[in-house]
Amino acid sequence: MAREPSTRRDAFSRALRVLLPFDLGLSAAIVVVWWVVGLVDPLPGVLLATLRVLAWFSGLRVKLGPVIDIQRRPEGRSDAELLAADAALQRVFAMAALTFSASWIAVDLLWVLLAKLGHGPRYGDAELATALFFIVATAGLHTLVTLVLSHALIPSQRFISAKLYARGVSFDRPKRKGTAPLVAAATWMMIGGMLAIGGGATLWNAQTQRELTAVFLRGQAEREATYLAIGAHTSARSDEAFAGDLEITTTEVLPPTLTGDGVPVRANGTRTYMDIERRQIIAATPVGDGRWVIASGRPDEQLRLFLGFALLLLTIALPLFSVGLHLFARSISAPLSRLAEAAERFVEHGELNALERFVPIHDDELGRLASSFNAMLDTLEQLTTAASAVSAGDLRVTLERPGVLHDAFRGMVARLNEIVARMRETSLEVAAAAAEIDALTQEQEAAAQTQSANIQGLASDVLSLASSAQQISSAAQGVQNNADRAVNTTNATAEVIAQLRAHATNVGELLRLIDEIAERSDLLALNGSLEAIRAGEAGRGFALVAAEMRRLAERVTGTVEDVRARVDDIERSGVATVIATEGSRELANLTAAASREITAAIEEQSANTEQASHRVQSVADQVVKATMAMSQTRTAAAGLREHAAELERLMATFELREHPNADNSRDAAKLEQR
């Protein structure tokens, strides 16, 4: 498992620590060069360069946002977040480098624009050409930034890659040549240097030509003024190299460009003005009588010559330099590519013997790498040879080199020696034990057969006992069933008698009501008779009815008394019957309970007898199986003895460093005799 590198600083902090001094130094150098050659004033130069630094580092901070977030809070991050951070790291090199060059180009163009708008030095054709040279040279700064930024972000790349590798997440890397950034940086440094030198030379030549033209025009104007002052005719002729126009004028009509305060004035009053934007130089010398001699001309700045020479120089130098860089890069990348291909063949196909050795040409990093690779191949071949010897049974191999790999191999061989020696001893012990097992199993097999016959007889006796117990259980079950039926009949009789007593009670209640009605009827009849007597002759019929009602009530009362007497007899008979029935029920319950206990005991005895029968039969089966197993064990013991002998023969094929048991050969011979 890959060890995750520690990161005390996040990606932006490391980039800021490395790139800020580089950017500030580069910015200062560019501003100073532009200011020295007269292409920018210090204040706008420093201001725009500072704003560019702040803006570029702010953009870099945004681009590295996913990486910074993971480095500050690495716990609980998903695979998708890690892949996004890794992709951000892969993109940041090209994006940051290109924006670096683009920001400098933008600053250079702003400097030129400010100058053209009158907020800086005046620009002529030579200044514009020089600025163009510098801008093109600045465009190649991204190659240097790529190298510096790559160096600054190496710890962050290792941190994210280690986390992805530890999780087993596959991540792709675009293939590229390792020397490509160096070649690009060197190429652009050569081009940028030549362009910067060419731009400076162009501007220096133009300024030189301007000064020479100004000197010639001043001399021409002073000479013509001298002639005019002495009253002689002018005889000066213009030099073909500095063709200038002469003009005689007065002070009142002097051009304003010659009368300003910033115009330089010599001791003789000669004034010179350079209009570099229009490529025109004017020199004016006073005659002394109010007249002025003005000489004007256009300097030959030779821009085409220098531009052509710069292009010609680039055309010639660039291919030569590129070829040289390519050959230099090939001298570095070719050995590395061969080493990479050899490692890939070994990893993918295991072609160790087919790998050729690399001859170190120089005693540098590549030479030492080739020597170390050859030493690694030698080590792997030594291990392969030792492993082949071990696979052939030779455990006497020795490895003298130090190292974890050799220590592990030596430990493996020592362990194999110990294991094989123990296996030899064990095989002899197993063979002896197998012989003893064979003898013991023969005795146990005979004893098991005798025991099996005895147990079979015991099983037959137990089965007979179980059958008798089953018959007794059936008889006891019949007695229990009869007792249960008697109990049920007695219970039914008791219920009927209880119902009869209840009916008798109801009849008694009914008789009480009838008796009560008869008494009331008798009273009514008596009252009717009294009322009839009181009514006299008119109540005679009513008196007859009342008398009849009294006789009927008396008859009803007598009948009720008779019925009540009979109901009482029924109740007394019911009570006696209930008492007798309760005694029968108790007797029947006791009989049923006794029969149940007998039946349960018999059933338990029958079950125990049957279970004992099954157990005896199971023991008999186990004894039979044990007898069969004894036979199989005897066969296996014989086979084990043969296998132990075969194992000893195989162990004898290994050549050990030392034999823990000096009598292994004799023991093997004894094993063969057995």
Dump pLDDT digits (tens) for 136-164: 888 888 788 888 888 888 888 888 888 88
Q: Please write the tens of the pLDDT for every residue from 454-481.
A: 666 666 665 665 566 566 666 666 656 7
pLDDT of amino acid 32: 93
Residues 6+ positions from 548 with CB-CB distance below 8 Å: 525
Q: 10 Å Cβ neighbour count for 628?
A: 12
Alpha helices by DSSP H, 269-363? 303-349
More confident residue, 666 or 527: 527
Flag whether pLDDT at 235 surpasses 60: no
Rounded to an integer, the average pLDDT of 341-362 is: 65
Give residue-wise pLDDT tens across range 430-440. 767 766 776 66
- Picking from 666, 87, 628, the residue whose alpha carbon sits closest to that of residue 424 is 666
Give the pLDDT confidence score for residue 324 in this predicted structure. Answer: 67
pLDDT band, very low/low/confident/very high, at 671 (cuts 50, 70, 90): very low
pLDDT at position 54 is: 94
What digits encode the pLDDT tens for the residues 602-615?
667 667 666 766 76
pLDDT band at 502 (very low <50, low <70, confident <90, very high): confident
Query: In angstroms, rounded to a whole number, what is the distance separating the alpha carbons of residues 442 and 250?
Result: 152
- Of 73-87, 379-393, 506-520, 619-633, highest mean pLDDT: 73-87
Our CA dihedral for 505, 509, 510, 516, rounded to 10 degrees, sits at 160
Is a pLDDT exceeding 50 seen at residue 665? no
Q: Give yes or no for a contact between 299 and 279, defined as CB atoms under 8 angstroms apart.
A: yes
Phi, psi of 275 (to 5 degrees): -105, 90
How many beta carbons lie within 10 A of that of residue 209, not counting itself? 20
Using one digit for the tens of pLDDT, what is the confidence trace for 481-499? Answer: 766 676 676 677 667 667 7
Question: What structural domains and CATH numbers belong to the chain?
Answer: 11-170 (no CATH), 212-306 (no CATH), 431-667 (1.10.287)
- Looking at residue 666, its pLDDT comes to 43
**157-206 pLDDT per residue, tens:** 888 888 888 888 876 766 666 666 666 677 777 777 777 888 888 888 88
Which residue reads 């590229």 in tokens?
176
- The mean of the pLDDT values for the chain is 74
pLDDT on residue 465: 59
| Torsion angle (degrees, nearest 10) of CA 541, 544, 546, 549 | -130
User: pLDDT tens digits, residue range 1-58?
Assistant: 444 444 457 888 888 998 999 999 989 999 999 999 888 999 999 999 999 999 999 9
Most confident of 130-134, 491-495, 594-598: 130-134
Looking at residue 319, its pLDDT comes to 75
Nearest Cα to 301, choosing from 200, 202, 197?
202
Per the CB < 8 A criterion, the answer to whether 476 and 595 are in contact is yes
Question: What is the rounded CA–CA span in Å between residue 83 and residue 73?
Answer: 15
Q: By percentage, how much of the chain surpasses pLDDT 90?
A: 7
pLDDT given for residue 642 in this prediction = 72
Nearest Cα residue to 29 out of 137, 188, 124, 132 = 137
Q: Which residue has the tokens 């823990």?
A: 660
Residue whose tokens read 């003898």: 439
pLDDT in tens, 301-330: 777 787 777 777 777 766 776 676 566 666
**3-state SS, residue 361:** coil
Confidence class for position 661, pLDDT limits 50, 70, 90: very low
Higher-confidence residue: 408 or 82? Answer: 82
Reported as a pLDDT band with limits 50, 70 and 90, residue 243 is very low
**Can you give the pLDDT at residue 3?**
47
